Amino acid sequence: MAPNKPLLLVDRFGRVVNYLRVSITDRCDFRCVYCMAEDMEFLPRSQILSLEEIRTICRAFVELGVKKIRVTGGEPLVRKGVVDLLRDIGSMPGLNELVLTSNGSRLAEMAADLRAAGVKRLNISLDTLDPDKFRELTRTGNLQRVLDGIAAARAAGFERIKLNAVVMKNRNHHEVADLVQFALDNSLDISFIEEMPLGQVDRHHRGESYYPSDAIRRDLSSRFNLQAVADTTGGPSAYYRVQGSASRVGFISPHSANFCGSCNRVRLTAEGRLLLCLGNEHSVDLKRVVREQPGDIAALKQAIVAAMQIKPEKHEFNIHEQPVILRHMNATGG
């Protein structure tokens, strides 16, 4: 290989990996019913990557050609030092895009600092506009705080803000049109997500609450004219534009429209496991590499390149059966 040519991360199926999602904590101030059980045990701090270790791993990925990093969790904004970490990652030469996913609970205080730190785009989770339902779905959350956070994020001038809504039959499926209207009124994008069977949950049966993207599109069609667009932000959403507005409506359909063929991403968990696929357990322990050979970025890069060989072809979710994947979404880095 030519000495100055950047290495590329390519898996056995020819897919180029240029997108890393980093979970910087498994902790969260919410307990969303689709994401967590009510009683969760979080990882002891010694098992969580330090901010320095996260920086080093991100640097290795960027040197290997990763162009986009999404910082997520758990709730990333509950981790101390997150703004400095984002600034450091955002200034890495070669990285084009630093983006963040948040539940919005701390955005009212932090949005301006996040924008100043170099975060370009923001995803904010919002499943309902009804305060009681919001409390029921998040178990601990306060809708008004999140709405204030969204307003602060709009004022801070992010390039794009997207809402994420997990849609569950008989819980919030009847609100999809109101959520789109809220997105339009606030010049936001919105993606609807089919619930994935990650980890045991205790408030509902996932097969019974499954609400497919097709049904959402049908529900929306009586109020909005949706036109399919080829826009891609490098993620798994299929996008539509609402006629007469700049907002886009996306559908993330892990069950009804498998998106694995174009998968360009891997995930780093808070405890330093590099997960090669959301729906499989194939992983490599990068924490061991950074702790056994601190500062040896070449060793880290070698481990990451080798990991591409075990990236699975696709996920196989079955919403009607007990989850095969025992880790919850907060431990996965959604």
Compute the least distance from the CB of residue 192 to ligand SF4, in Å. Answer: 15
Among ligand SAM, ligand SF4, none, what binds residue 122 when CB lies within 5 to 8 Å by partner kind? none
Q: Which is nearer to ligand SAM, 88 or 194 (CB)?
A: 194
CA atoms within 13 A of residue 6's CA, in its CB half-sphere: 16
Q: Does 73 bind ligand SAM (CB under 6 A)?
A: yes
Site string for ligand SF4, 101-140 (x = CB under 6 A): --x---------------------x---------------
**Contact pick of 73, 235, 272, 279 for ligand SF4 (by CB under 6 A):** 73
* Residue 73 CB, nearest approach to ligand SF4 (Å): 5
Beta bridge partners of 284: 274
Q: At CA 211, angle to CA 206 and CA 212, rounded to 5?
A: 120
Neighbours of 122 (CB within 10 A): 26
Under the binding rule (CB under 6 A), the answer on residue 247 touching ligand SAM is: no
Q: Smaller CB distance to ligand SAM: residue 33 or 66?
A: 33
Distance, CA of 282 to CA of 330 (rounded, Å): 18
Number of residues near ligand SAM (by CB under 6 A): 19
161 lines the binding site for ligand SAM (CB under 6 A): no
- Return d(Cα 14, Cα 296) in angstroms, integer: 28
Nearer to ligand SAM, 107 or 303 (CB): 107
31 binds, among ligand SF4, ligand SAM, none (CB under 5 to 8 A by kind): ligand SF4
Indicate whether 32 belongs to the interface with ligand SF4 (CB under 6 A): yes
Report CA-CA distances (Å) from 333 to 25, 46, 76, 187: 9, 19, 10, 26
DSSP 115-129: HHTT--EEEEE---S
Pick the closer one to ligand SAM by CB: 60 or 274: 274
For ligand SF4, which residue of 20, 24, 35, 331 counts as binding (CB under 6 A)? 35
Question: Of the listed pieces 95-103, 211-219, 220-228, 242-250, which binds ligand SAM according to CB under 6 A?
Answer: 95-103
> Is residue 104 within 8 Å of 150, Cβ to Cβ?
yes
Name the closest residue to ligand SAM (Cβ): 334
In the sheet that holds 238-242, the strands lie side by side as: 226-228, 238-242, 248-252, 189-194, 160-167, 121-125, 97-102, 68-72, 19-23, 265-268, 273-275, 283-285
Residue 145 makes contact with ligand SF4 by CB under 6 A: no
Helix 82-90 / helix 107-116 crossing angle, nearest 10 deg? 30
Q: Which of 74, 90, 197, 236 binds ligand SF4 (CB under 6 A)?
A: 74
CB 167 within 8 A of CB 176: yes
Question: Which of 27-35, 143-151, 230-238, 297-305 is the region at the interface with ligand SF4 (rule: CB under 6 A)?
Answer: 27-35
Closest CA to 187 of 234, 155, 209, 220: 155
Q: Does 329 bind ligand SF4 (CB under 6 A)?
A: yes
CA distance 259 to 150: 29
Q: Where do contacts with ligand SF4 occur on this chain (CB under 6 A)?
A: 28, 30-32, 35-36, 73-75, 103, 125, 329-330
